[in-house]
Every structure is written in C-alpha cells, then in structure tokens.
Amino acid sequence: MENVYEQISTFYAQNLEIEGILAKDLVERYLRKCAWRGGKDEQLKRVWNEISGILVYIDDLDLFSFDSLDIYDYQEILCRTEAGTSSSESCVEAFFQDIMQFYKYLIGLGYIDNYDTLSNAQKLFYHDSVFKFPDVQGTDQYYELLRHLDEVAPEQVEQLNSLLDTLLNKVGEYFRQAVFLADLTRAVMLYTEPFGDDAHKEDEEFWFSFWDYFFFDYHLIQTDLVPLVYFYEHEKQNLQPSEIYILKDLMKAKFTVFSIDAISEEFIQCTNLFTGDKIDLPCPEYNFVDYKKMILFGHIHSHGMMLLNYITSVPASKRLRQRMKDEILRQYELYQCQDAGASLQDFFSRHAAAVRHTINILSFFAQLKVVLPKSILPSDIPFAANKVEASMREKLSGIATQLGYSAFSVRLLIRMYGDFLIVAEGKSADEDIYMAAILILFADINGLEFIKIERIKKYLSVQADQVSGMVEKISNAMDCKDLNPRYLTEEGFVQALFMV
C-alpha cells in the first residue's frame, strides 16, 4: 500500500497542470511538518485527500487559485470527500480544522491572504448553533463555472437562457395541474385587477408578465408559499443538478422597481427607485426608446449568477416616478398597521400585485392617487390573536379553509376575531354568530366574492337576521366601514386601489 508521499507523487504525475495551482514540494513539506508533530500515516492521508479534493475542484473549474473559491464551493468540495459521505459533525469539523491549519501554513508563506471564506463556509453547516448537513443535490460543473466568470460568452448566455426557459416551462406545466386550478384563477384575478376584461389575455406579453408574477409573487391558497418555493420543496428529487442550482438562485430574486441611468454596449446602468442602489443589468435584446422617461420592475437576483426573468417597462417621467414612489410608500405604511415590523421588501413580497397595479394606474390613467386617505387607519386596538382559545382557533381555521379562504386569510381572520373579543369587552353572544359575522365581514372588506354567505350560515347553523345585525355591530366596533388595513389580504389591497 502506498504511503502518503507516494500518493502525492502519483497524483502530481497524473495531473501535471496541478503544479501550476500548488507546487508539489509545498504539500510534501507541510505533511512532513505534520508528521514531525506526531501525525500518523492515516491522519496524513486524510489531510492529503482533503487537499487534493480542493486542487481537483479548482482545476476542473479553471479557477487557478484558492482565493477564487466561495463558500458554496467548499460545501461542494466537502461533499465529494469522505467527510461529506459520512455527513457526521465530527468528520465535517475535522475537514475544516485540517484545511484551516493548512491555510495558516500557506498564509505564512504569503501564498494566500486569509481563510475568511473557509470560516464562513463552515457556518453553512450550522443553523441556530445546531449542526445540520446541507442537502446534497449533485453537481453541475457548467453552472458552477459560470458563477466564477467575470464575463460570460454569448454562447454561454444562450445555454443558460435555454436552461432557464426549460425549467420555467416545467414549473408552468406543474402548476397547470387540476389541483392548482383555484390558484390560477385567483392569481389571474389579482393580476388583472377586479374589473379587468379578457381581451388582453390573448396577448403573449400578458402571459409572460403573468407567469413572472405567479412564479415569484403569488401566494398559494393552501400553503401561502410562492410557487417557486413550493415546486422546489415538492419536486427537487426529480430535478437535474443544473435545474436545482438555477431554481435556488431564482428563489433569491427580489421584486425590484428601478429606472435607467445610462445604456452602454455591455450593460444597462440602473437605480433602485426605493433604495437608491445602483444596478448593472445585462443589455436586453430590444432597444429602449426614451429610457430616461421610463420605469421598470421585475425580479433580480444579483448575487452569484445575475438572473433576470421578465422585466416590465412603463412610461414615467422623473416627477411621475416620485409620485409612484410616494404612493407605494403610503401603501407600505398601511401594511405596517398589519405587520408593524415589516420591511419594505416584506411588503413587496406580500403585495407585489398591488405595487404592479399602482405603477400601471399612475402611468396609463389620469389618476393622481391610488391609496385611500389616512382617515381609514383603525383605532388603536392591541393585537390579540392569542386571546382566541385553541379550540376556537381550530374551529375557525377549519371552517374558513373549507370555505376557500387562503392560509394567509385564515391568520388574519383569527387576528380579527381576537381583536373583536377585546372590543366586545366580554359581552355575551353565541360564539357561532360571532364567527359567522367575522367570516362575512372579512370577505366583504376584502372583496372575496367567491365566498358565499349562505354557505357560512349553513356551516354554523345561524339565522340571517341574527348574523346581519352582528355584522353591522362588529363593523362599527372594528372601524371596518371603509377598508381596515389590519385585515386586508392581497385581494383587499388590490381592490382598495380601484375604490379611490
């Protein structure tokens, strides 16, 4: 059996190009130091196996140096070693400890600057200080290589676009199944606005834009997950490695509104309307006319691979862009009545449909405002969802789900019921009448026309005259005569835009 130094000699003889990455004598000198400090042959072989794994990976991807590796590269490298095969915490810790000591040796020689990336890679294996080996989906060297390139050749862009189109077509087919019919119907309604007609649905551009909204922004009725995340969670075992890599990047994409500052031959210089951050985007296949009088929105993932899906552009002067920003920030302020700690990105993630409509309304229609006045802000009622007893929460949730309320709506319904229990100040009434009235009032303020009042009364065995009076009473007590933003769903926010 070969000793570790014979293994090194064989490796370098079979991989001559590795010498340009790390000289053979540097590795031998390091391992001899380890041996002088008491390292046994099996320990030295383990360390060499780890070092050679890194060298092979760097060579395979033509990276040329250790400094080119990122945290995900180390995860992939480890998964190819014995430590990755075992998936145990002790083996993973040994891998990082071994390589860290080796890097300290290289730093002393001036060969590398630091091991910060390696330390950050180690953190990937811990969630809230608990060890968890990341999911291993296989490798895809083509996509790994693209992450490291400063410039991507046209043929590589074409190949990536082909992979992206194939994946998104697969996702689209998945959600065309009959089980998702209610979701598609609801998504089209949210996307086209409450009073939209069907004429534009024959337009190919409409469907490109719709699927962009559906994949990234829509929240499914039963799970409240966006479709891309749902698809990943349920279908990742059936996907190719390249599809998994792309899907993970797509799930990191954020809804962004931006304007164009300048256009060059290589990229478009843009500014995020809300953060002021500068963005360099790839040049599109079509030319922008009067780009300084336009605003664009869509999903951008700018870390790792720059991925763009469908980007929408609409006319907007500098003054109009400011008005759009102000109106959307007012919507965000209303949303904070529902979620006080929400960030602007949280608002975009939940209500991208309303943001899209706001931009389109202000761009194409002679309308100065789209947000209801602050006078509709509710009274200062403390949030009290926890006041609802577990049995009542379960009952209300079960009935609402059967009636077709979304998972997000159910959470708001329970909050609304708890808030009313505070306002009612202990006044007695049949809880089923309370519940029926809450269900009806919630559907009314959010424009949930598919919710049938008669079905609610039937589920709870209550009479019409009993419920109608309670609906009025709760509406007055909860400031719901207009639209109380504490309880607005996606449908409610979109409907509110067309009531000003």
Q: What is the pLDDT of residues 15-48, one digit of tens each?
A: 888 888 898 999 999 999 999 988 888 899 999 9
* Cβ pair 435, 396 in contact under 8 A: yes
Q: Which of 45-49, 60-64, 163-167, 261-265 has the highest mean pLDDT?
A: 45-49
2 Cβ partners below 8 Å, 6+ apart?
10
Say whether pLDDT at 149 is over 80: no
HSE, side-chain direction, 13 A CA sphere, residue 130: 3
Other CB atoms within 10 A of residue 212 CB: 23
Q: Is the pLDDT of residue 353 over 60?
A: yes
Residue 289, pLDDT > 50, answer yes
pLDDT above 60 for 3: yes
Q: Which two tokens stand for residue 74?
A: 């180390």
* pLDDT of residue 335 exceeding 70: yes
Helices H, strands E: what count in the chain?
Answer: 21, 8
pLDDT in tens, 454-499: 888 877 888 877 788 888 888 888 777 667 888 999 999 998 887 7
Q: In this structure, what is the dihedral angle of CA atoms 198, 204, 210, 212, given to the nearest 10 degrees?
A: 180
Residue with tokens 């570790």: 4
Lowest mean pLDDT among 65-69, 93-97, 303-307: 303-307
Does the pLDDT at position 88 exceed 90? no
Do residues 105 and 37 make contact, with C-beta atoms less than 8 angstroms apart?
no
Please report, rounded to a whole number, the percentage of residues in the chain having pLDDT higher than 70. Answer: 81
Return the closest-CA partner of residue 259 out of 248, 270, 247, 243. Answer: 270
pLDDT band with cut points at 50, 70 and 90 for residue 90:
confident
Q: Decide if 389 contacts 414 (C-beta within 8 A).
A: no
What is the pLDDT at residue 375? 44
Q: With CA atoms as reference, report the closest residue to 283 among 167, 160, 157.
A: 157
* pLDDT given for residue 419 in this prediction: 84
- How large a percentage of the chain has pLDDT more than 90? 31
Beta carbons of 66 and 54 less than 8 angstroms apart? yes
Single-letter amino acid code for the residue at 209: S
97-110 mean pLDDT: 91
Integer Cα distance of 392 and 399 in angstroms: 11
More confident residue, 321 or 375: 321
Contact between residue 460 and residue 436 where contact means Cβ atoms under 8 Å apart: yes
pLDDT at 230: 92
Phi, psi of 150, rounded to the nearest 5 degrees: -75, -35
Give the torsion through C-alpha atoms of 389, 390, 393, 395, to 10 deg: -110
pLDDT of residue 482: 66
Task: Determine which of 121-125, 253-257, 368-372 has the lowest per-residue pLDDT on average.
Answer: 368-372
Which domains occur in the chain, in start order? Answer: 4-136 (no CATH), 154-250 (no CATH), 251-374 (no CATH), 385-478 (1.10.472.10)
Give the number of residues written for the chain: 500
pLDDT at 211: 92
Please say if the pLDDT value at position 168 is more than 60.
Answer: yes
Residue-wise DSSP of 438-483: HHHHHHHHTT-TTS-HHHHHHHHT--HHHHHHHHHHHHHHTT-SS-
Whether residue 242 is predicted with pLDDT greater than 90 in this model: the reply is no
Q: By C-alpha distance, which of 338, 349, 292 is closest to 316?
A: 292
**Residue range 400-416, pLDDT digits in tens:** 999 999 999 999 999 88
273 has pLDDT over 80 = yes
